[in-house]
Amino acid sequence: MNGIIPLYKPCGMTSADCVYRLRKILQERKIGHTGTLDPQVDGVLVICVGQATKLVNYLMRQTKTYHGQITLGKATTTEDATGKTVAQKHLSQPFTTQQIKQAMQALTGSLQQTPPLYSAVKVNGKRLYEYARAQQEVQRPTRTVHIYKFELTQAPVFHIIEGEQVLQFTVQCSKGTYIRTLAVQLGELLQVPAHMNQLTRVSGGGFNLEETFTLQQIQAKIAEQQQDFLIPLSQVFTNLPTYDLNIQQWQYVQNGRFLELKETAPQVALYYQKVLKAIYQRQQNLYVPQLMLLKNDR
């Protein structure tokens, strides 16, 4: 079985849980995902099956889009709604929409982030959340991420009794971005504690929320011997020119040989009998292997 599954991950499940469930449903061991979603986050989780697992790194490099909610006035240990409160500031009056928009704009472009202590980032072979649970101090690495868009989607809501302001937002970002950390950074610019209330990934790996399938839907389709939830690998490379291999060229590709093609594009998708088999890249006057998908069958 080879292909890509745009899965809807529900709240309460880890990304690893989803992979485990799919291995049992599909009776397939070779399965991976293209970017972890925290258990409390729902939305698009792109799953790679069989030969598609070779595309994981390629798909992870694509931008992701989220919709969510931020609360200004309270910070938590986990930077989201699941943690314990560690700081509060009663807001006597709300921030203006203009103030919030300016702060969001300041957080677009290249940005330095320190991953949350309660996260799966590894330091010296251990995940950060393991250090947190053991109450051990650890130096967290700083990473550079890119925020393409960070905007309000609705007018902010001020809760006068709680002294908190709630923001609905959308963000488009690079891989490795922690949206809950972005929420904290927004609070820092506004000089108030903040945390992320809720988050949904609405697009990732080239797929939108509307295109996803639930685990229950996939299980039902397998029972009916249907596989329309499995997207062909070729859909990932629709932006590349295609080339149909003859028998001799196909033999060359199977042996990893270079090809002379009447093409000038930097990359080309090679097909044999209408099935994607490899991605080759141009080097001087030849095309050389970049990604081999020889066992792909659809």
Mean pLDDT of the residues in the chain: 94
Please, which pLDDT band fits residue 126 given cuts at 50, 70 and 90?
A: confident
Please, which pLDDT band fits residue 128 given cuts at 50, 70 and 90?
A: confident
Mean pLDDT of 24-47: 94
Dihedrals phi, psi of 254, to nearest 5 degrees: -60, -25
Domain boundaries, the chain: 3-62+206-231, 64-201, 234-292
Is the pLDDT confidence value at 123 over 80?
Answer: no
Answer yes or no: same fold for 64-201 and 234-292: no
Q: Which fold has domain 64-201?
A: Pseudouridine synthase (3.30.2350)
Question: Is position 80 annotated as part of the catalytic site?
Answer: no
**Residue pLDDT, tens place only, 176-223:** 899 999 999 999 999 999 999 999 999 999 999 999 999 999 999 999
Q: Which of 17, 38, 228, 297 is catalytic?
A: 38
Is the pLDDT confidence value at 93 over 80?
Answer: yes
> Does domain 3-62+206-231 bear CATH number 3.90.870.40?
no
- For residue 181, the model assigns a pLDDT of 95
Amino acid at 228: D
- For residue 125, the model assigns a pLDDT of 79
Q: Which fold has domain 234-292?
A: 2.30.130
Please, which pLDDT band fits residue 162 given cuts at 50, 70 and 90?
A: very high
- For residue 135, the model assigns a pLDDT of 76
